[in-house]
Chains A and B, each alone.
Chain A
Amino acid sequence: MEVLLSLLVGLMTAAALYLMLSGDLVRFVFGFSLLGNSINLLIFAAGRLTHTGPPLIDPGRHSLVLPAANALPQALILTAIVIGFAMTTFLLILLFRTYGQTRTLDADEPAFLAELSEADTVHGSSGASGKEGS
């Protein structure tokens, strides 16, 4: 199983990076989300998959009777999933906003780069608001 998961994680990471490198901002977000999934799996697998029982203590007992899955990486992954979700959401909104200003989703398009350097020089959106009207 471990070998299988190792291969899966590697392939998912490769796919995620290929998406992120594409230059299309939507694909970038998809890749980002995929990368989060693969890294979560990596942490999960690194905590070993030997025991498959959930880390829950039976009622009436004071500690685990049978060996259970590793609880520590699970706690890490749980918050990582939620934070990954928050970041993906933020990226999406940023994407939406960027499109509103540049009218393009292609990060390599000259209009996109020009807008960036303009925003750099005026330190704000004063240059951008004029653009939106056009």
Chain B
Amino acid sequence: MIKNRSNIAKVPDCCRAGLISSLLPLLLFALLCLAWPGVIQGRAIQVEMPWIPSLDLSLRFRLDGLSLLFCLIITLAGFFVSLYASSYMAGKQHLGRFFVYLHGFMLAMLGIVTADNLILLFVFWEATTILSYLLIGFDHEDATVRDNARQAILITGAGGLFLLLGILLLKTAGGSMILSQWPGFGDSIREHALYPAIFVCVLVGAMTKSAQIPFHFWLPNAMSAPTPISAFLHAATMVKAGIYLLMRFHPLLGGTHLWMGTLVVVGGITALWGAVQALAPCDLKRILAYTTLMALGIMTLFLGGRSAPSLTAATTFLMVHALYKASLFLAVGSMDHQTGTRDLRHLGGLLPAMPLTALAVAAAALSMAGFPLFFGFIGKEIMYAGALSEDLFPAFSTLAALFSNALMTAVSAVIFITPFLGRRPADMGPVREAPWTMRLGPAVMGGLGIIFGIVPEWVSANLIEPAVFAFHPSREEIRLSLFHGLNLPLLLSMVTLALGTVIYRFREALRAFVKNILARLRVTTPGIYQVILDGFIQMASGFAQRFQNGSLHRYLAVIVLAVVMVTGWPWVAHIPSAFIVPDPRGLIMPTGICLFILAAAGLVVTARRRLVAIGGLGAVGAGVALIFLMFGAPDIALTQLLVETLTVVIVSLVLFRLPPMEGGRKRKGLRKWMDAGLSVSVGVLVTTWLMGILQKPLDRSLTAFFEINSYVAAHGRNIVNVILVDFRSLDTLGEICVVVLAAWAGVALMRSAREG
């Protein structure tokens, strides 16, 4: 586990691609700051460009208070993360690709939170799914990494499909695709019969993206991504997309008992389960991943409420969490980068070596633990106020929040105390402080946790309230402040800290206990996922082996049978009752030709020698050409004759080089009769088709157009040729392309035969 980093000191400190590209988020952040004052006064910025007008789709973006909050978090985290990555990733391969993915992801994320059209939002939603797959699987040479990336894309991708279904159902139910029009639609949608289906689909989309139980397990596995990515995607931004979705849908779908009950239960269980599991691992990143689960669960839980304190609690905690979690992830990455490990058992006594990182971790951990004077404390206060004000299950909400917060307090203590104050392991080499690019992000984001904790009123007025107003139309003012007086939330905060200390004290016992429980679980969601995945792959390969077994006969028989069944069945019901009785006069010639063709075709079928078959084939072609000639088609008659001649030449050239046909096996018994039955049934079908077609009147208007315009407009007397080279010349161009391609492919095959 432990590698001494000093021997790879030749690696450059910093890569230029990262430094330069980190200007993009910085610039965006500056622009957002310019827009900030207007947006919080209620003047949302809106841009609209036509996209697909025929489908009533437009590129419509809108920046309101909620979008602004998200955009600020995304660009700020994006700046620090790419700055950080410029050092963290220095010397690694494919850096260009890495930063393209990273910034592409950031832009997609900004797209999600600013799109005002639901379809547009969905497009960006899918883009983040794909880009996160590429980022999680960045070290794609490792099989585990690939599995984890696949797990993430399968689960979030499936959620995306549900979301799409929900969007389509919403449209069916008469809902608007424009997000900013939703507040007016809420009542009609909530009373619609499709409401439960819409709700479930949207919820599954949000739950998969934001890793709610039972779809949570991809998130801890996604920690195989490079640490800056974990900080950016799995702490600050992407997993919050589901939370954002729930916020946006709140005015449309929220407030019902279905919404409240489901969200509170799902969120509460996720929070508790994530917090409990955070005690078990020794890998710092995994610990952080489980605490992220807890945070996402808490946000979901509070979005289940409909009172202003609940929604304010969710929004505040979103900010609190983004700041401390991104900071912690980056700091853990620094420890990993400087010491070569992020395993708690091999870390200790880093305080003298990495004092600035230690300071950032301390600030972030205290905010996470919810100590007074830190932003986390404010978040916790409003959380308890919100939980107590809920309509449904207030006791459950309060207890879930209390226990998960207490566990968080203990975990935050573990994260800070063990690596920095714990005993220094004997096998640890000399450690240097991380470069400034890697210290800046944790320090600033940790520091913001203190500043915001001291001036909560400013944060409340400039960030939280405008955001809550965007999805909570009742506009009830909830001001955050440092001290609300001696009340129940304050008491609960104190209980949390005390409980946290107790849990920290008995953490080893608890860890053993949790590990024991985890080991005893028989049915787990990752297990179910694996069973489904394996079953799916098995089914696909079984299916492929049955239908793609390489047998030409099997393929053809299946295709022919499908044709007979699909077209034959409806056709039988509409079979024409009366056919035109042919006029016997003048039919002697055509009948003769038809009999000639039939005889020749029979010869091809029965021939036991190849030469006879070739002759029969030529005779069929000649007979067909005669029919063309008799019924006024000299051009195709000529073409047919010439093609037959050339075909005979080429068939002879090829078959001359092949063994005689006599060696071939004969069809026997059942197979022969089955083949004959299939062929005859298609023959009967084709005959009745043609008879049926001939019963119906023919629309000759297109032919009439060609007949009238052929000479007048296109200066040609041969109407067939004029159609080919003038009226329908684009088709002809395509057709000669096919001919040339077939010839080239044939020549290439011959050449490879000669060389290979």
Contacts and interface: CB of A to CB of B under 8 A. Distances in A.
Question: Do A and B touch directly, given a CB cutoff of 8 Å in the complex?
Answer: yes
Interface of A: 1-30, 33-34, 37-38, 40-42, 44-49, 51-59, 61-64, 68-72, 74-75, 77-79, 81-90, 92-97, 99-100, 105-108, 112-113, 116-117, 125, 128-129, 132
A18 B676 contact: yes
B687 A6 contact: yes
Interface in B725-754: 728, 731-732, 735, 738-739, 742-743, 745-746, 749-750, 752-753
19 contacts: A3-B691, A4-B582, A5-B627, A8-B597, A11-B687, A17-B560, A26-B658, A27-B664, A40-B636, A51-B632, A54-B632, A56-B718, A59-B717, A68-B707, A78-B720, A81-B636, A83-B739, A96-B658, A108-B552
A113 B554 CA distance: 12
Contacts of B685: 10
The size class of the interface chain B forms with chain A is: 35 or more
A87 B749 contact: no
A48 B690 CA distance: 11
Contact of B710 (A21, A63, A108): A63
Contact of B553 (A59, A63, A108): A108
Contacts of B732: 79
Contact of B739 (A15, A29, A82): A82
Contacts of B687: 6-7, 9-11
B746 A89 contact: yes
Contacts of B724: 75, 78-79
A81 B640 contact: yes
Given A72-B703, A89-B742, A49 B631 contact: yes
Chain B residues touching A, majority SS: helix
Nearest to B732: A79
A3 B703 contact: no
B598 interface: yes
A88 B647 contact: yes
Interface of B: 549-553, 556-557, 560, 579-582, 587, 590-591, 594, 597-598, 601-602, 604-605, 610, 613, 617, 620-621, 624, 627-628, 630-636, 639-640, 643, 646-647, 650-651, 654-655, 657-659, 661, 664-665, 667, 675-676, 678-680, 682-691, 693-694, 698, 700, 702-703, 706-708, 710-712, 717-720, 723-724, 728, 731-732, 735, 738-739, 742-743, 745-746, 749-750, 752-753, 756
A63 B712 contact: yes
B717 A56 contact: yes
A24 B598 contact: no
B751 to A, nearest CB: 10
Q: Closest 10 CB pairs between A and B?
A: A14-B683, A69-B632, A10-B687, A107-B552, A17-B679, A75-B723, A86-B742, A71-B719, A18-B679, A10-B683
B561 to A, nearest CB: 11
Contacts of A7: 594, 687
* B591, B679, B691, B712: most-surrounded residue (chain A CB, <10 A): B679
